[in-house]
Amino acid sequence: MDFALTPEQTSIFDMAYAFGQDAIAPHARQWEQDGTIPKKLWPEVGALGFGGLYVSEDAGGAGLSRLDGTLIFEALSMACPAVSAFLSIHNMCAKMLDSFADAPLKDRVMPGVLSLDTFLSYCLTEPGSGSDAAALKTRATRTNEGYSLTGTKAFISGGGYSDAYVAMVRTGDAGAGGVSAVYVEDGTAGLSFGALEDKMGWRSQPTAQVQFDNCNIPSTNLIGEEGKGFKYAMMGLDGGRLNIAACSLGAAQAALTATLAYMGERQAFGKSIDQFQGLQFRLADMEIDLNAARVFLRQAAWKLDTGAPDATKHCAMAKKFVTDAGSRIVDQCLQLHGGYGYLADYGIEKLVRDLRVHQILEGTNEVMRVIVARDMLKNR
Catalytic residues: 362
Confirm if 340 and 372 have CB atoms less than 8 A apart.
Answer: no
As beta bridge partners, residue 181 has: 168, 223
Q: Which residues, at least 6 apart from 190, have a Cβ–Cβ distance to it below 8 Å?
A: 148, 149, 212, 213, 214, 215, 216
3-state secondary structure (DSSP) of residue 268: strand
CB atoms within 10 A of CB 338: 12
Q: What is the DSSP string of 97-124?
A: HHHHS-HHHHHHHHHHHHHTSS-EEEE-
Q: Which residues, at least 6 apart from 230, have a Cβ–Cβ distance to it below 8 Å?
A: 133, 134, 168, 176, 177, 179
What amino acid is encoded at 9 in this protein?
Answer: Q
Q: Closest Cα to residue 336, out of 259, 249, 251, 253?
A: 259
Residue 108 phi, psi dihedral angles, 5° rounding: -80, -40
Residue 148 phi, psi dihedral angles, 5° rounding: -115, 120
| CA–CA gap between residue 141 and residue 22 (Å, rounded) | 47
- Number of residues that this document lists for the chain: 380
